[in-house]
Structure 1
């Protein structure tokens, strides 16, 4: 489309070659009716040229609209690509978070099995009732079932990541790599400039569509003004093919035509009204895109601050829960507390540790969401790149 629009800026050249044979009526030749007229043959070879002088911007506005349309299509492609990259990154971090959760559950299963062995020994020695042994076995089986469920969730996420990468789930395998507490997550600097939103692909696409609509208004308005067309043609015409390219049978034509619409039934005015309405729609769409971009960034920043605060508090909670579980284990082994107290402390520790793991994954995913909302990050592009864009 862009190349087709730019072609209107250049002269159009064409060549033709052909033959015609006709028999005219005597009256058409100014002779009395019934006069015999012989058929005639004409061989023609010509070179034609035409050019429209862009007096009122019809051609330039057409080119501007096509250029903006091409930029909008490219920006839309980059928007889809950015969304795909963000989905891949978020799925990756979710997968690593589940790996950490599965590792935690597997470690907890080992502790539950050890509790079962310890409880069985104490039950055999007559120190405790069978109720504590049944509770220990219940906790071990429940934790094992939770680990199996999370492995199933991991398999579904792995299949989703394979589809995002364009691979079949059966041929894709992702190595287990838990998301640790010391995993590096990009730190968001303070005071992000709002100018970063100008490079968001959806904002760029909306801006390009606005420019295209503006150019189409100028294109529609140019239709009510005169248009100047230059044409030229030169070649040869002969009754015999062998005489076609002789100098004395040459012919040429040059013309300059200025055309102006006088009455068109309101078609041009309707075209202008339609183009102006499309421009108003593009303006509203651009404003909505900018507002949506600000909203996405604010939501991402708010979510990230919330997750960061929760993570700090949960770290303190994990430390306290581990201390409580360790004390409960020692007191149970010494016979000072019941098994119910130990199980309660271990359940609490497992729940808090799982929350901490899930929160680490949410922190990473929220950071990816902010990068997506900013259009690819918070680092300003180099000056030459900005100028090129």
Structure 2
């Protein structure tokens, strides 16, 4: 009899070791990031360096890319206090950003719920039942009379799933990957919001510049109309020139109203980005100035870490990989441990007497260890579906990387070509202004008709408007490049 405790102890140790080994088994595939084709350098960046080898990068900081790095306030590189304040307001009140933050909190709660599977579930209950058993259940004849009884119960129950093949762990991994994906999507929404605010801001200022040009044109046309009216009264010109002058003045005023309409729409869009009603937001006129900020692009490989949408696509792959583990675990046994202990009595007064104690080890119905044998191919189909979803996420990830490379190249090309286009356009503006001055002088001397003056004034307005649009486009392209690069990082 003295060997019995030792034998029981040895069996218990063996059972514990076997259980530990089974728990350590995981059928989830090891996740590795898929390879993607990555160029050594951006093509358009190389072309830009050939044109401008000395680039001022004092307004920016390059940092080693890593997901844990603090994403800096990249808009500070523009040196615009108004833009800085707008970005702050948007971060505090934008509703899309708040929705993204709520999704992050939801995913964190789901992760906590999944982690609860690592621990046993314990419940307590109290109540009464009124029951009457059939004669057959008491091994009596069918015509025997049974009696009804009331049973009072107070008990605690515990249940725990032994994670034999990593089912619970895979469930946690899915939740963690979903949480990381939602966090990356939050940063993507934040970056998009910051870029949209900056672009809307520069667009508004570009409209302000157009309004300034049209107002100046209206003033010029009004002065010209006075001159034409004076010459008409003196009989130097006919009524046709007077009608043309009035037409040009009315057209300039109409175009000015059209730009004001576009500006109002842009102002309303900016108000919504800031989380405000358009009626409560007024943006003062501020004509745009040329943007001299240069953005260091770094290496293409940095995009794999910098861009939050790429990080989100990668986390979607990790979640799909964990889903494969979940689908595989359905093919293996599942062990559920259950226990209950408490008191059971026929009267409430005797409920907590020691003699009324009761316990139950194992499931009330069924078995603790279950092994699936046949389900008509349901588990096999689930595994095939999980693998297909993983392949889908891999393809989406690689496509997202390629799209990121394209967006950077597009905006680099825009900035490089816009620089050349603006230089040529400034020359065109200077030439058109000189032409307009010469035509006015010749008209006042009677050498040319008023139609030539109108054409020259129109050309000045068109070239200046085009230069204004190019300035706005250049500012927006700079913002788009920052967004394509994943924002600016610095040390917190």
TM bucket, shorter chain:
0.7 to 0.9
**Residue in structure 2 matched with residue 115 of structure 1 by the alignment:** 224
With over 3 angstroms needed to count, the CA separation of the structure-2 counterparts of 1:138 and 1:36, relative to structure 1, is closer
Distance 2:254 2:185 in 1: 45
**Residue in structure 2 matched with residue 292 of structure 1 by the alignment:** 403
**Residue in structure 2 matched with residue 159 of structure 1 by the alignment:** 268
With over 3 angstroms needed to count, the CA separation of the structure-2 counterparts of 1:118 and 1:254, relative to structure 1, is same
Q: How does 1:307-322 map to 2 (within 5 A)?
A: 307-322=418-433
Which stretches in structure 1 are left out of the alignment for 5+ residues? none
Q: How does 1:345-364 map to 2 (within 5 A)?
A: 345-364=456-475
Q: How does 1:8-27 map to 2 (within 5 A)?
A: 8-27=117-136
Distance 2:338 2:280 in 1: 64
Q: How does 1:331-350 map to 2 (within 5 A)?
A: 331-350=442-461
Distance 1:348 1:291 in 2: 42
Q: Do the aligned residues in 1 keep the contact of 2:339 with 2:360 (CA within 8 Å)?
A: yes
Matched, 1:371 2:482: yes
Distance 2:334 2:358 in 1: 27
With over 3 angstroms needed to count, the CA separation of the structure-2 counterparts of 1:345 and 1:237, relative to structure 1, is same
Q: How does 1:1-389 map to 2 (within 5 A)?
A: 1-31=110-140, 34-181=143-290, 184-255=291-362, 257-375=368-486, 377=487, 379-382=488-491
The Cα shift of 1:153 comes to 2.3
The Cα shift of 1:265 comes to 2.6
Distance 1:318 1:164 in 2: 35
The Cα shift of 1:217 comes to 0.3
Distance 1:151 1:241 in 2: 83
- Matched residue of 2:489: which SS? coil
The Cα shift of 1:335 comes to 4.7
The Cα shift of 1:77 comes to 4.0
- Matched residue of 2:124: which SS? strand
With over 3 angstroms needed to count, the CA separation of the structure-2 counterparts of 1:122 and 1:152, relative to structure 1, is same
Query: Normalized against structure 1, the TM-score is what?
Result: 0.87
Q: Do the aligned residues in 1 keep the contact of 2:303 with 2:404 (CA within 8 Å)?
A: no
Q: Do the aligned residues in 2 keep the contact of 1:196 with 1:380 (CA within 8 Å)?
A: no
The Cα shift of 1:70 comes to 2.6
Q: Do the aligned residues in 1 keep the contact of 2:345 with 2:356 (CA within 8 Å)?
A: yes
With over 3 angstroms needed to count, the CA separation of the structure-2 counterparts of 1:310 and 1:245, relative to structure 1, is same
The Cα shift of 1:268 comes to 1.8
The Cα shift of 1:330 comes to 3.5
The Cα shift of 1:158 comes to 2.4
Distance 1:41 1:226 in 2: 39
- Matched residue of 1:263: which SS? coil
Q: Do the aligned residues in 1 keep the contact of 2:121 with 2:158 (CA within 8 Å)?
A: yes
- Matched residue of 1:8: which SS? helix
The Cα shift of 1:193 comes to 4.0
Query: Normalized against structure 2, the TM-score is what?
Result: 0.70
Distance 1:24 1:352 in 2: 98
What are the superposed Cα offsets for residues 134-159 of structure 1, whole Å, 9 maximum, x if unpaired?
43333223222222222222223223
Q: Do the aligned residues in 2 keep the contact of 1:197 with 1:374 (CA within 8 Å)?
A: no
- Matched residue of 2:408: which SS? helix
With over 3 angstroms needed to count, the CA separation of the structure-2 counterparts of 1:357 and 1:120, relative to structure 1, is same
The Cα shift of 1:33 comes to 5.4
What are the superposed Cα offsets for residues 161-212 of structure 1, whole Å, 9 maximum, x if unpaired?
334434333443221111134xx45322254544235343332222221111
- Matched residue of 1:175: which SS? coil
The Cα shift of 1:107 comes to 0.8
Please identify runs of 4+ aligned residues in structure 1 that moved more than 6 A: none
Q: Do the aligned residues in 1 keep the contact of 2:111 with 2:176 (CA within 8 Å)?
A: yes
With over 3 angstroms needed to count, the CA separation of the structure-2 counterparts of 1:103 and 1:247, relative to structure 1, is same
Distance 1:33 1:134 in 2: 116
- Matched residue of 1:17: which SS? strand
What are the superposed Cα offsets for residues 231-274 of structure 1, whole Å, 9 maximum, x if unpaired?
22211122332222122322223349332222333222222112
With over 3 angstroms needed to count, the CA separation of the structure-2 counterparts of 1:246 and 1:190, relative to structure 1, is closer
- Aligned pair count reads 379
Distance 1:329 1:208 in 2: 67
